[in-house]
Amino acid sequence: MAKQFSLFETPRPSLPKYNVFLAIFPDDRTARTIIELGSALRQTLGMHGRLRPVSHLHVSLLFLGGTMVVPEKIVEVIGRVCQTVAAVTSPFEIKFDQVLSFRGRPGNHPLVLVGDDQVNTGARNLLGCLNAEFAKHFPWPASAPQFVPHLTLLYDKQELAPRPVGPVGWTATEMVLVRSEVGATQYDWLGRWAFGG
């Protein structure tokens, strides 16, 4: 199994207290629409997993690592990278029109919203710019894992094959640096950067 990349030094074998990542969050109205869609799907499909909290609905862009503490000096560098990239990124559309299960741990499969491969190019372009800019400041993986823009609704033992849903989307206007407390369903926003400066 390949070692997972991390900007942070976490002593092993201890588990990290926090995961740190960059994400795009829907606006409040869209988030409520997504929760309504997730609730309807959960009932229709007979799933039992709990819906993610409305405040946690997001599209993950880049996992930056797990850590026991989040050093301010690293947050400052991440902030400079994000500011540089955000300044040259225009707002873009995110659209999802399918739901499916990703392969997760046995009995714990993420149910996610995804879009057609040609739809969410703005998110893919943003990730490409982020990778290029981070490589100027940190030892960076030569090849990034395949990126599928998606939004997780819940985790369930069922595995669902792709099926269409009524389209849901929003205009992404900023990206957010998130510190997630492992096992606590607690997100803290450490920074946010508006696209177009």
- Tens-level pLDDT at each residue, the chain (197 residues): 334 567 776 555 567 899 999 999 999 999 999 999 999 999 999 999 999 999 999 999 999 999 999 999 999 999 999 999 999 999 999 999 999 999 877 778 999 999 987 789 999 999 999 999 999 988 888 666 689 999 999 999 999 999 999 999 999 999 999 999 998 889 999 999 999 96
pLDDT given at position 144 = 65
pLDDT given at position 179 = 97
The pair of structure tokens assigned to 12 is 């092993």
pLDDT given at position 2 = 39
Q: Does any domain span residue 18?
A: no
Give the bridge partners for 179, in sequence order: 20, 188
pLDDT given at position 90 = 97
Q: Does any domain span residue 13?
A: no
Q: What is the bridge-based pairing of β-strands 92-101 and 174-181?
A: unpaired
Domain holding 87, by residue range, is: 25-194
Q: Does any domain span residue 34?
A: yes
Of 125, 139, 154, the C-alpha closest to 24 is: 125
| DSSP letter assigned to residue 93 | E
Q: Does any domain span residue 145?
A: yes
pLDDT given at position 70 = 92
Counts for the chain of helices (H) and strands (E), in that order? 3, 8
CATH number for position 153: 3.90.1140.10
Side-chain half-sphere exposure of 165, counting CA atoms within 13 A = 28
Cα separation, 183 vs 172, in Å, equals 28
**Total of domains in the chain:** 1
Maximum distance among all Cα pairs of the chain, rounded to whole angstroms: 48
What are the C-alpha distances in Å from 101 to residues 104, 153, 177? 8, 10, 26
Q: Does any domain span residue 3?
A: no
pLDDT given at position 9 = 66
The pair of structure tokens assigned to 57 is 């609905």
pLDDT given at position 46 = 93
pTM assigned to the model: 0.90
pLDDT given at position 25 = 98
Q: Does any domain span residue 50?
A: yes
User: Which residues does 183 contact at the CB level (< 8 Å), separation at least 6?
Assistant: none
Q: Does any domain span residue 76?
A: yes
pLDDT given at position 166 = 92
Q: Does any domain span residue 46?
A: yes
